[in-house]
Amino acid sequence: MNCKSVQNRLSAYLDRELGGDELLQIRAHLSTCKECRAESDGLRALKSLLGGVPCPEPSEDLCERLTANMMRLRYEEPKRTLKVSAVMFASVAACSMLGTLFFMNSGLAKSIWHGRTPSSGKDLAIAQNGNPEAITGSDPAGPIISAANFVPR
């Protein structure tokens, strides 16, 4: 291994992220090359500096504010929709118990169902997750983040 390839691997070497031949070759090179050893020492010092930076503490009321946010999301948004889904659940179940396929196709059922048509990606995501009773609230004024712009990577 030449100096350039050794130096390119020094961070990984110092982080114990290398193994096998790569590790042995770098170790051997460092024992004979003064320049790469100096580079390695420099990066080790920097790693130590970064690892020791003090951790800033949040202001005392951050926890309270976070909890308040959760309370708002938990009790204001879902409560409304949980009631709706309970009524809907009962209605749909009643319909199926009556076995009136005819009713399901009637304008009344359509209008009930239409009121529950998922209007956001989140409702769909929750439905796909098989947990439709979870938070189904999608108050356009409430959410800071919409499901549409959240792309888990």
Partner 1 sequence: MLFVGVKNKTAAVDDRLDLFESLMKDSYKPAYGLAYRLTGNAAEAEDLVQETYVRAYRFFHRFDESLPFTSWLYRIMTNAHIDSVRRRGRLRTTSLDTSGNDGATTWDIADQDGSPDRLMLQNSLDEPVQKALLSMTPEFRTAVLLADIEGLAYEEVAEIMKTSVGTVRSRIHRGRKQIRTHLLKHAPQTYRSFCDEL
Q: Which residues bind Zn ion (CB under 5 A)?
A: 3, 33, 36
Residues 86-125 as x/- pattern, contact with partner 1 by CB under 8 A: x--xx--x----------------------------x--x
Task: Select from 3, 35, 74, 100 the one that contacts partner 1 (CB under 8 A).
Answer: 74
Query: Which residues 6+ apart lie within 8 Å of 15 measured at CB?
Result: 47
3-class DSSP state of 98: helix
* Partner in contact with 76, chosen from Zn ion, partner 1, none, beta carbon below 5 to 8 Å by kind: none
Q: What b/e string do you get for 83-117 counting C-beta neighbours within 10 Å, with b at 16 or more?
A: eebeebeeebeebeeeeeeeeeeeeebeeeeeebe
The C-alpha atoms of residue 117 and residue 115 are separated, in whole angstroms, by 6
Instruction: Check residue 153 for interaction with partner 1 (CB under 8 A).
Output: yes
Q: Which is nearer to partner 1, 57 or 102 (CB)?
A: 57
Instruction: Check residue 17 for interaction with partner 1 (CB under 8 A).
Output: yes
